[in-house]
Amino acid sequence: MNVRVLTPRNRGFLFLDSHPAGCAQLVADMWQACPDPDPDPDPDPGPDADPARGPQGDGPVALVIGSSAGYGLAATLAGLKRAGIRGIGVCFEKAPTVRRTGTAGWYRTAATADIARAAGRDLVLLNGDAFSDAMKDQVADLIEQRFGGRLDHLVYSVAAPRRTDPDTGSTYASVLKPIGGAHRTKTLVFDDEGVPEVREVETGPAEGDDVEQTVAVMGGADWERWIDHLAGRGLLADGFSTAALSYIGSPLTAAIYRQGTIGAAKAHLEATARTLDERLAKTVGGRAVTSVNGAAVTQSSTAIPGIALYTGLRRGVLGDGLVPPVHQLADLWDQLTGAAPLALDDEGRVRLDTFELADDVQAAVAERWESATTRTIADLADLDWFRSEVRRLYGFSVPGIDYAAPVNTDVPWPGHTR
């Protein structure tokens, strides 16, 4: 047992340690914030409704890939509470050592397992490389042996810097770069004392095969490979549905995001959805969609130039009108299970980002963006909220936690007991 007092140590938005009790409380808070399922479901929910949903069944069998952080964690918790899922979560986290804590996702996963167990849900959580065929085989074996040989839903939420192609052995690296030329943008940073500063930064353009490499990591290739693998084992249930989580974002961040290398990967992801949707409709009467979510403070998003400034300003405009990820994913589960109609835009995407992309909201954020300087930023953005959100990613600044008390960092990975 390794018991010690943990204080936040960080380099910019990256923290060196994570607080187990804070991470557990964060997961508990997300669980409480997630809406309960409708107590009075429609007696005739229609042909798209999931027959396993609700108290009369064991719950639909679901697979969440990227289950330990951000929207993937929200998908796991909302699926357990809102849709009553059972099944498998896959993520890639580091265990605690003598000198370092585990990653925040390690502790969040342990807390998620506790919640699933208390809710009576059979949830297996696997730690490993989701891009590998070995992990795909492990998941397929579990579906066959533990979950009756059928998978009802798959949510794909993977953000990674690298991917190794199992067929070729080639390793690809994703980059955050604009396409066609360098891009200058405002961004928000904090100095060692936590004082905010608005800076202008320039990001050089994509070169060589940067776009292709980023698409190979963050596009739809691995999502499609998962579907191929599970379909090849005969594990997709009739009416199977799958959603990959995507992002479009504001015009203020478009050059570095949607029009940049990551945007090319998201476009590929969305094109893959259309291909899979056509195929699944023919083979199992199923659906494939992308879900476009709102901007969120995550370990991935804080690395993108301009995103920190945008999310802080957006919170300043919306305040409590901000829709948290777990609420967005509750809406997605309603649509995937047939509890609510599947609401798609002209590109076949589920849009859960409309609360922030409304014209009046974007106009207000843009006005603040233009006025944002180091001197004015405290009046324009909700900096306290943003700082706390970043710290909460690592289990710090979570209400109800005594950070002066020693905490055990040797939390084991959850076992596979029912």
Residues classed as catalytic: 257
The tokens for 347 are 């590109």
Three-state DSSP at 401 gives coil
Q: How far apart are CA 350 and CA 144, in angstroms?
A: 30
Q: How far apart are CA 341 and CA 146, in angstroms?
A: 30
The tokens for 156 are 């794909």
User: In degrees to the nearest 10, what's the CA dihedral of 298, 300, 303, 305?
Assistant: -80
Q: Which long-range contacts (CB under 8 A, 24 or more apart) does 3-12 make?
A: 3/406, 3/407, 3/408, 3/409, 4/406, 4/407, 4/409, 5/403, 5/404, 5/405, 5/406, 5/407, 6/101, 6/403, 6/407, 6/409, 7/403, 8/391, 8/394, 8/396, 12/189, 12/190
The set of residues, in sequence order, having a beta carbon less than 8 Å from that of 395 and lying 6+ positions away, is 18, 19, 20, 21, 22, 23, 24, 25, 26, 104, 107, 401
Return the number of other C-beta atoms located less than 10 Å from residue 20's C-beta.
25
Vertex 220 angle, CA 157 and 226, to 5°: 75
Q: How far apart are CA 349 and CA 64, in angstroms?
A: 19
CA neighbor of 270 nearest in space, from 255, 288, 284, 252 = 288
Using DSSP bridges, classify how beta strands 10-11 and 14-15 pair: parallel, antiparallel or unpaired.
antiparallel
The distance of Cα 30 from the centroid of its chain, to the nearest Å, equals 13
